[in-house]
Structures are given as C-alpha cells and as structure tokens.
Structure 1
Amino acid sequence: MRYLLLSFLMAFSVVAFAQKTYIYCGQLVDTKNTTMLKEMTIVVEKNKIIDVQKGYTVATAADKTIDLKAYTVMPGLIDCHVHIDHETNPNRMLAFQQNKADIAFGSIQYSKTTLMAGFTTVRDLGGSVSIAVRNAINKGQIVGPRVYTAGKIISSTGGHGDATNGLREDLMNISELNSDVVNGVDECIKAVRQRYKEGADLIKICSTGGVLSLEKDGSGAQFSEEEIRAIVTTAKDYGMRVACHAHGAEGIKRAVRAGVTSIEHGTYIDDEAIALMKQMGTYHVPTIIAGKSVADSAKKPGYFPEIIATKATTVGGLIQGAFAKSYKAGVKIAFGTDAGVYAHGKNWMEFEYMTQAGMPILECIKAATVNASDLIGVSDDLGTIEKGKLADIVAVDGDPTKDVKVMGKMVFVMKDGVVYKSTK
C-alpha cells in the first residue's frame, strides 16, 4: 500500500511539474484572421500548444524559453502537393537504374530539406516509396515533415500516370509498370481499395494528360465522369479524399462534378469550371513554381525529350495566370508546389509567385496553413497557433508583409513540440 501511494505521488509530481516551453514572438501571424500580432508568447507542453498570451510571459526557473523576438512566427507550413521520393533530373535512365531502396535513401535527404524549409506537413501526391517514408518519419527513424500520402496514383491507359507511355511493346506489358493503370468502373473501385490496403491516406487520380509524361497531349480528358465518380464514392467509403491532377477544362469539370476534393494545377480552367468549383467547394492547388520550373528546364538542350519540352514550354507558362483567375473569382485556394518537379526546399518560392498574381502574402500564408489543413482534413490539430493544437511552429528572419522573400529565410522549425532548427 505504501509503495502504491509513493508511486502515485511520484507520477503526480511529474504531471504537476512538467516542463513548459515559452516561445517569445516579436511578430506572430494570426492565420485565422490574416493579421499580424506583436509581442506574443506561445506556451508549449510536450507536443501541444497550451496557451497563447499577449506580451512576454515570465517563465519559471523550471521552464524553458525560446527567444524569437527578432523574428516573425507562424504555424508550421503545409505543402499540399509534393513528391517526396524524387527530384527533377535530366537522366531519363534513372527510372530503369534505381531500385526502391535507392529511391528510399534519396527520400531521406528530400524529407529533411523540406522540414528545414519550414514545411512541417506535406501531402504527397504520388510515389513508389512514399508510404514507407511516411512510416519511417512517424517512427522517428528519419527526419521529415508529417506526411499524408496517396501512394501510387491512379491513371487510365495511356494517361499521365501510365509509366509505359513511349516504351516499346514488350515493356508496355510488364505488370509492375501497369499497376496504377485502370479502365472502367470496376477497375477504378478495385484500385481505390488496393490503395487503402497498401496504407494510402488519400487517393490521387489524373483526369487529364500531363507535362512530364511521354504522352502527346497534356490537356485532354482521360477518365469518364462515371469512372471518377466511382473512385470518389469508394474513397469516401474508406475515409479518403481524392486529389485530381487536371490541366484541361473538360477534365477539371468532370472531376469537380464527380466530387473530387481538389484540382491540382488547373492550367486551362475556364469560367464554367470555376463556377462548378465554387458551387462544390473544390480546392484549387495551383503549383505555380512547378510550371515555371519545367518551362525553364525546357530551355536547356536535352533536359527533356522533345515531346515533354514542347508541353512544358506551353503549359508551364500558363499556370500562374490560371491561379490568378480562380483566386480572383473566389475559388478556395490551398498552397501546393509539386516539389520534386523542382528542387526540394525551394517550396517557399510559391509564395512569391502567388503574391505576383494578386494574393496578399498573409492570405498566401493562410492558404499554406488554415486552408491546407482543411483540405487534408486535419484542422483540429494544425493550421493555426491556438490552445489545443499540435506544436508545429516556425519563424522567418524578417517581415513577409514587407518582403515576401523572407519566407525563404527560415530560422526556426518546431514540429510536434520538437525543435529541428534553432536560431542558436
């Protein structure tokens, strides 16, 4: 009895005197109200924010303080469109030379780079090892952002996600290369169930052609509305949302009518598609930096095959204008960059391109926090610095409302209460 009482008192004392961390913020971005707050204190205990206070609260001797008085603090940023397991490279032979283990080892650096850039959460929209990477990060085996992944994408035959495009006939019939290709309602339903079985958090489909695949057209529709609806309905049954790669207007409209959660890219979006997206509450994830990056790479001789270079030059130059059109019309915007199409760690440049297109920087940051967490379905835990939220907190050196480029000067990164980058 005496031993039990002693154990209880020891446990109580650990709870009662658990160390808190007081983070002093010179400026704090209120992402919910898109305002800047001066001289604030965030109180963190373990992995949660337990209070946000005006002024610089005096900590006890037992507690820890982090001085960010010279910086602008905000919630951990969220990139809703990345490919954490690869990065742009002109060597087309890599796909035939790398085993999954090689790809996974490369992902270790990409993951760390992304986190150190201030992106504490990402939505991975297609990769061969992204589920394993997510699991390794969650187990603490590697350093990286919180990952929500679609695993392998779902594509139609000859579509953007068909890895056999442009290959000789015998290679086209390799089953592994066709594992993400479906046709007809039944195969669409089965593919969603398979992704669930494999451990995906969400579904990614391609309702139009793309830029970096060896198909001749990046804009044509590639799934019927009936097929997309089957995917969306099945995904909903399994508690998953659907992200849809779409450049062409018809493919966008079919996907939106069928109920996808987001349209990725949206290059040729038209007024009808915009009206449908507003009606359905569909998010637009613009990926402007991806368009600019592939257009720049297309200028380098031999970087892309001619068929890709032509599409990159055309499509890449239109994405920023498409974003401006949908944003100004009132479509919901979530921040996403298509990281991997360009070098990981430069995600912040999307903020610059978004402001160039007319979105104020605080709204851009809201798109990368509040809106992004809503799109993923994690608003209860992420997106704002509020009592009860997870302690994902970052800081930049400067005032982004005066110079958007300071979004690339990340000096402090905390994810889940753990500091990964510090000013000291």
Structure 2
Amino acid sequence: MRGATIAAALVLAGVAIPASASSVYVRTGALVDVASGTAKAGQCVLVEGERVVRVEACGAPPAGAEVVDWSPYTVLPGLIDLHTHLADVGESADVSAPIKTSPQATALIGAFHARQTLDAGFTTVRDVGTYRGLTDVALRDAIAQGLVPGPRMFVAGAYITAPGGGGEVNGVMPNDQLPPDMRLGVVCNAGEAREKTEYLFDHGADFIKMIATGAVLAIGTEPGKVELSDDEMRAVVEVATAHGSYATAHAHGAEGIKAAIRAGVRSIEHASLIDDEGLAMARKAGVWLVMDIYDGDWINEQGTREGWPEEYLRKNRETTQEQRDAFAKAVKMGVRLGFGTDAGVYPHGLNARQFAYMVRYGMTPARAIRSATLDAATLIGHEKELGSIAPGKFADMIAVKGNPLSDVRVIESVAHVMKGGVVAK
C-alpha cells in the first residue's frame, strides 16, 4: 500500500466508537437530501458504529439503540471545506509569525483550530498547505487516532512552489536561511518537482498543492504572474497520478490557471482572475474551481484595522470583486464549483459565512449546500463514503435551527454535530 493510500485509510478510519454508542437512532425535524436539494420531515437515521444503516420515517427505535433527539432541528450532512489551513498560525500583520512559531507550537495551534472547525459543523476538510511542512500530517493522524477532536483531514504536507514564490515566507530573512521544514516543496525545475512530490507522498501527503501563480498574502509576488513552469506542473501531476492521487493548483492569474488545467490538475484554488477561455477550459475538462469569495471582505476590513502589509491589502482590492464576478459567470456556465474558504486567513469556525456569498453571486441555497457536501466529497474522491446521509456512508451530520434551503445563513449557527456516529457537539 502506497503512502497516500495508507494516509487516506487512516483518515477514513476515524475515531473508535465506544461500545455503548454502537447503535444510535437520530430523530430529525427535517432531513436535507443534498442530491435532490429537498428536505423531508419526520425522518430518522439509524447509525451502527460509524456508519448510516437506514434512513426512514420515524418509528420506534430499535431495541438497545441510543436515541438522539434532534427533532427540533433541520439535519444536514456534515460539511466539507476544501480549502483550509488548520495547521498554521493564521494570518496577521506579523509576516514573521510562522517562523517565530515552532513546529510543536504550530501543531498545538492546529489542534485548537480543528476543534473550532468541527464545532462549526465541518466534519471533513481538505487542508491545502502549511508553512511548517508535515505539521498537517501530524495533526491529521492525531485526529484520526482519537487524540484530538477535529474534522477528518486530507492534507498536502507542504507547498510545491518556486523559490521566493507564493508558497514561501518572504520578506523576513533570506529565503535560503529559512528553516528546512519551511522549504520542503521549493523547486527549480521539473526534476526537483518530481523529487519533492515523491517526498511528500512518502511522508504522508494525501494530495499535492502547487503554487502556480503569485499570491495575495505573500510578500513580493503578484497574483497574475505564473510561477511554476508547464514542465514542473506536469511532473507534479504525473507523480500524483502514479500514487493514485491528484494535484491542485493555487492560481489567481488567467494564464497560470490555464497552464494548470492543461497540466491535468483536479482543481484550481482561488481562480480570482480567470477569463472566459479559462472558464470554458475548466468546464470542458471537468476541473473544479474552489473560489474563496468570502474572505476578501475580512482581509479588507480586519487587515486594514490591524495594519496588515499594504501590499496584501492592495492585491486583495485588485482581486476580490474580479473573483466574485468570475464566480457568478462560472455558476451560469455550469462549471464545477466546490466549497472552499481559505480558513486561516480569517478565524477558523467562521467557514459557513461563505454560503451567503455563494447565494448572492448566483447559487441557490441547495446548490451552495451541495458544493460543501456531495460535490466536495466527489472532488476529493470519497463520494461513496462522505457527502450525504445515506446507508453505508459515514454518519456525519449537523443540526441547525430553521430551513437552510430558504435561508442558508442558518448554517452559520450549528447546534449539534455528529462525526462518525459520535456526537461531538
């Protein structure tokens, strides 16, 4: 079994279920079917161990089953955020914070972020990179072993990035003096890209994250500039495919997006400046766009208040509305769109704020919810186990007051969370 396959098995294994909670009967006020975009009243879910066994009209619970009464609530599948940074210090005015924070402290901070994220109803995340390489692997494994409460994590291990590119901590010291664990994915050519990608899979990465263009929140890089060559991106994709996995690309600029699509990535992160040609290419190739259309407001408001670097604020102003307009076009064109927020840029636990923005820019509430459930599970390749409440799938559920299909903002306040058959909140 190869590294990525072992890691995925560990993630999906989850936390061991206590014998006393081996059979659970969940009463719902209404149950959302994300496949059809409808909700049905009076449904009950029978859970045995970690998985759903039956979904049926409520009746007498099976003998010996623990009853979980969520009848005052609407119940949805556990949510999936495809773009988080749990295992990192979070964004601030101090660009040197990742260097000042040890790997051990970063892991503990990540554990705190994981708890916040789970409490917010996100039972699975795709964590798309950390400056302290492989800290995300350690956090994922601790959660899977039941040592730390948090969502299932699928992790990238580190960023594949050009020297001084958007995946580096720039502007603090000469980059070649940065700690080695902060440069695990720095590459100068296709051979190094292949070698570093193999290294990350060998050390527990589930997928690979490439920094194809410059970044908004990185000193000395520009979002529209391509930073990885076509050969480097193709080399990464080839290795990922050989490991039974995939690569995703951080790409703001139109040319970098199109180059990454041609290289064979599964998804594009941000896609802020994507043009009509890029949208058409993504639709034709079935490439997912994961567009974080909420956090531009947070960066502008909180970043200005806290004194974040003016370079960050300028690039954010230049990309925020462009990204939202492109998102609206993508919705109309039928491009595949997954829910991803860039949590860590803003405080973890506020992930659900993005739903309202997705609706504002063209999605129905049902489609926005599906982007964070069944569609997100499809993107990560685990739609048979995650993303909906159905027999055989993991018993990941959340309970909210009100009807999210008419007011998606009710998901911003989650009353209860179940992950793998265990009530976590």
Do the two structures share a fold, i.e. TM-score over 0.5? yes
Deviation at 1:224, TM superposition (A): 1.7
SS in 2 for 1:109: helix
Letter paired with 1:133: L
Partner SS, residue 329 of structure 2: helix
Is this contact kept in 2: 1:162–1:180, CA < 8 A?
Answer: no
Alignment of 1:35-184 (within 5 A): 35-53=38-56, 55-86=57-88, 87-127=90-130, 128=132, 129-163=135-169, 165-169=170-174, 171-174=175-178, 176=180, 177-184=182-189
1:15-414 counterparts in 2 under 5 A? 20-53=23-56, 55-86=57-88, 87-127=90-130, 128=132, 129-163=135-169, 165-169=170-174, 171-174=175-178, 176=180, 177-300=182-305, 303-414=307-418
- The code of the aligned residue for 2:34 comes to T
Shift of 1:279: 1.1
What is the alpha-carbon distance in structure 1 between the residues aligned to residue 198 and residue 212 of structure 2? Answer: 19
Q: Once the 2 structures are TM-superposed, how far is the Cα of residue 70 of structure 1 from its aligned partner?
A: 1.6
CA contact (8 A) 1:123 1:147 kept: yes
- Residue 384 (structure 1) shift: 1.1
TM-score of the aligned structures, taking structure 1 as reference length: 0.91
Distance between the aligned counterparts of 2:403 and 2:44, measured in 1?
18
Structure ID, larger Rg? 1
TM-aligned CA distance change 1:109 to 1:359, over 3 Å = same
The one-character-per-residue Cα deviations of 1:282-308 (angstroms, maximum 9, x if unpaired) are 0010111222222223432x6222222
CA-atom RMSD in angstroms = 1.6
Would the aligned equivalents of 2:96 and 2:172 in 1 still touch at CA under 8 Å? no
SS in 2 for 1:26: strand
Change (3 A) 1:295 1:317: farther
Q: CA deviation at 1:91?
A: 2.7
Compute the displacement of 1:174 (Å).
4.2
C-alpha distance 135-27 of structure 1, shift in aligned 2 (>3 A): same
1:175 deviation in Å? Answer: 6.2
Query: Who is 1:6 aligned against?
Result: none
Whether the 8 Å CA contact 1:155–1:205 is kept in 2: the answer is: yes
- Which residue matches 1:3? none
Change (3 A) 1:216 1:186: closer
AA at the equivalent of 1:115: L
SS of residue matched to 1:200: coil
SS of residue in 2 equivalent to 1:379: coil
Return structure 1 stretches of 4+ with deviation > 3 angstroms.
171-175
Q: Structure 2 counterpart of 1:222, which letter?
A: E
Q: Does the aligned pair in 2 maintain the 1:72–1:398 contact within 8 Å?
A: yes
> Which amino acid is 1:71 matched to?
Y
Amino acid at match of 1:194: Y
Secondary structure in 1 matching 2:81: strand
**In the alignment, is the contact (CA less than 8 A) between 1:268 and 1:322 conserved in 2?**
yes
> What amino acid is the match of 2:218?
S
The one-letter amino acid paired with 2:282 is: M
